[in-house]
Chain A
Amino acid sequence: SQTIHQWPATLVQPVGSPLSLECTVEGTSNPNLYWYRQAAGRGLQLLFYSVGIGQISSEVPQNLSASRPQDRQFILSSKKLLLSDSGFYLCAWSWGGEQFFGPGTRLTVL
């Protein structure tokens, strides 16, 4: 069966610091991968999606970037965090219509 991992689970970072969140998927090949952000009490905002290694599409212009160095690895990064980057970051994978989500990373920028 397929499993999706995200780490860290919780992160507190100062404004201006860098960020690296990692997501890996097990049990499937060539999945579509997605990064979402969910603000408190709000819906899901799609940030990036990838249909293959090195192929990244950005949905929202901002100070975040994503990379896919391996088939089942998706990384979300920032060089300098802003207060507005705080939120719940979710990675998801799909191999058809349904998307399956990871456990999420709760990021607080102080």
Chain B
Amino acid sequence: QKEVEQDPGPLSVPEGAIVSLNCTYSNSAFQYFMWYRQYSRKGPELLMYTYSSGNKEDGRFTAQVDKSSKYISLFIRDSQPSDSATYLCAMSPGLASGSRLTFGEGTQLTVNP
């Protein structure tokens, strides 16, 4: 069983839709949670970074962490064609030197104009 599970999609939505991307995990030690956006043939770009449970909002993006359910989500409001990319969740137990991230396999999102 993988430590982090993420539905690979592909997910296709019309422009303006609300998008929900999700990951589940099994390691209760994870405390730090990240979402990365990766355009085709580019390196991943950090979108959101949250610690422990709760919500964090940044413009059209909201990250949500539910540690009791071991479930994290990324919501994209008013989705745009420029949001078309692969979204990777990542998590870590701590910030100690050399801390490693555990990644999901990524969800491929297409926003159609």
List the interface of chain A (C-beta within 8 A of B). 32, 34, 41-44, 46, 49, 51, 57, 88, 90, 94, 96-104, 106
Contacts and interface: CB of A to CB of B under 8 A. Distances in A.
A96 B95 contact: yes
Nearest to B101: A99
Contacts of B43: 90, 101-104
B68 interface: no
A97 B49 contact: yes
Given A43-B104, A44-B88, A100 B98 contact: no
Interface of B: 8, 32, 34, 36, 41-46, 49, 88, 90, 92, 94-95, 97-101, 103-106
A106 B41 contact: yes
Contacts of A104: 41-43
Q: 7 closest A-B pairs (Cβ-Cβ)?
A: A101-B43, A43-B105, A97-B95, A51-B98, A97-B32, A44-B103, A104-B43
A98 B8 CA distance: 23
Query: Counting chain B CB atoms within 10 Å of each CB, which of A44, A101, A106 scores highest?
Result: A44
